Structure 1
Amino acid sequence: MTTRLIVWRHGNTDWNAGNRVQGQTDVPLNDLGRQQAVDAAELLVRMRPDALVSSDLRRAADTAAALAALTGLSVTHDERLRERSFGLWQGLTMAEVAETRPEEHARWAAGADVIGGEVETLEDLGKRVADALQAAADGVGPDGTVIVATHGAAARSGVGHLLGWPREQLRTLRALQNCHWVELTHDTARGWQIATYNVGPFSDRPVPPPV
């Protein structure tokens, strides 16, 4: 018996488009993001999910709502699925971060756990998101499918923590594109495994940074 977990990044926002650090700022989807959510939902509905769970931030919650409209399922919101808190970076473009906080930016680019600037550590991020992903999977049980709408950095760290990967291995994964997803499966013999990564309807689009 196999549990299926789909970890789905939200659609595009104006801050994604402007390369601006969102973190836990509650930025809404833009027109492109809303259309991405609809297009992705038309694919994900074929997976016949048993449950939908989402970050409580609007860009993820509204992405999940597009799928809820097709499935008839209600969405459960879990604040543990929020994006990484980027502290004093939030609202800045990445170019502004590099210019005004160069040491912190260098640590971030190198994949360091502790960055400074009140940015949440990767360890804390991975643990809280993985806890939420595990709870979502537990909620549907063996042979169930749950789709979880979350954020770029949150998805990558949460999946990595769930799999028990070291940070060095996690850095080999590209950032999820907007409205793309990771499919994981779990059974008692093999535990968690990745089935697919970065799947979605807009594979030809550039990858916005997972912030």
Structure 2
Amino acid sequence: MTTRVIVWRHGNTDWNAGNRVQGQTDVPLNELGRQQAVDAAELLVRLRPTALVASDLSRAADTAAALAALTGLSVTYDERLRERSFGQWQGLTMAKVALTRPVEFARWRAGADVIGGDVETLDDLGKRVADALQAATDRVPPDSTIVVATHGAAARSGIGHLLGWPREQLRTLRALQNCHWAELTHDDERGWQLGSYNVGPFGDRPVPPPV
């Protein structure tokens, strides 16, 4: 029997729109993001989810709430699903980071761990998000469908950790667009598998950084 896990990125925020590093700053959805959550929820409800889990940051929690309103399910919150902590980068635009912290920025662009700035390592990020996804799966009966509302960098790293992908392979995945999702499945015979990635209702739009 197979459990399905939908890993869903939150809707747009003003900091997404301004290319500003959010990290674990609790930035709310903007008007576009709230509409994106509603539009996506109208598709996800067709999957007949049996459980909803979300990061406790409001942009993810409010995205999950749009689906909760259609399903009648309550949302369980797990702080392990929070976005990557970007430490001293949080609140800065990416242009400002590149200008004022060029060595750190270059390592980030190269997919390496950032040395300095109190930025969370990729291994730590991947492990904590993967642990949360596994815990959500362990709490439900087989053949359930779980929708997990989280964040861009968190989603990508958590998925990669579950699948056992090396960092170089993980970098070949584009960031999830706002309110798009990936579908994972798990069963005892095949373990974790990726079924689809970057699915959503909005067509192909430019992807803001997953921060």
Structure 2: stretches of 5+ with no match in the other structure? none
Q: What is the TM-score when the length of structure 2 is the normalising length?
A: 0.99
Match of 2:203, SS state, is coil
> RMSD over aligned Cα, in angstroms?
0.7
1:141: how far off?
Answer: 2.8
**Where in structure 2 are the equivalents of 1:40-189 lying within 5 Å?**
40-189=40-189
Distance in 1 between the 2:97 and 2:59 partners? Answer: 23
My pick for the range that moved more, 196-205 or 95-104, is 196-205
Structure 1: stretches of 5+ with no match in the other structure? none
Cα distance change of structure 1 residues 114 and 96 upon mapping to structure 2, 3 Å threshold: closer
What is the aligned partner in structure 1 of residue 21 from structure 2? Answer: 21
Distance in 2 between the 1:205 and 1:31 partners? Answer: 17
Q: What per-residue deviation string (whole Å, max 9, x for no partner) do you get for residues 54-73 of structure 1? A: 00000000000000000000
Distance in 2 between the 1:120 and 1:21 partners? Answer: 13
Question: In 2, are the aligned partners of 1:82 and 1:151 still within 8 Å (CA)?
Answer: yes
Match of 2:207, SS state, is coil
Supply the AA of the counterpart residue of 1:183.
E
Distance in 2 between the 1:97 and 1:38 partners? Answer: 33
Q: What per-residue deviation string (whole Å, max 9, x for no partner) do you get for residues 14-54 of structure 1? A: 00000000000000000000000000000000010110000
1:187: how far off?
Answer: 1.1
Distance in 2 between the 1:83 and 1:185 partners? Answer: 22
Distance in 2 between the 1:168 and 1:203 partners? Answer: 27
My pick for the range that moved more, 57-66 or 140-149, is 140-149
1:142: how far off?
Answer: 1.2
Supply the AA of the counterpart residue of 2:3.
T
Distance in 1 between the 2:95 and 2:120 partners? Answer: 20
Distance in 2 between the 1:195 and 1:204 partners? Answer: 19
Question: In 2, are the aligned partners of 1:11 and 1:33 still within 8 Å (CA)?
Answer: yes
Question: In 1, are the aligned partners of 2:105 and 2:114 still within 8 Å (CA)?
Answer: no
What is the aligned partner in structure 2 of residue 38 from structure 1? Answer: 38
Q: Percent identity?
A: 86
Match of 1:66, SS state, is helix
Supply the AA of the counterpart residue of 2:4.
R
Match of 1:192, SS state, is strand
Question: In 1, are the aligned partners of 2:26 and 2:59 still within 8 Å (CA)?
Answer: yes
Question: In 2, are the aligned partners of 1:22 and 1:90 still within 8 Å (CA)?
Answer: yes
Supply the AA of the counterpart residue of 1:2.
T
Task: Give structure 1 regions of 4+ aligned residues with deviation exceeding 4 angstroms.
Answer: none
Supply the AA of the counterpart residue of 1:175.
A
1:110: how far off?
Answer: 0.4
Question: In 2, are the aligned partners of 1:113 and 1:122 still within 8 Å (CA)?
Answer: yes
What is the count of residue pairs matched by the alignment?
211
Match of 1:184, SS state, is strand
Question: In 2, are the aligned partners of 1:108 and 1:115 still within 8 Å (CA)?
Answer: no
Distance in 1 between the 2:122 and 2:191 partners? Answer: 23
My pick for the range that moved more, 186-195 or 69-78, is 186-195
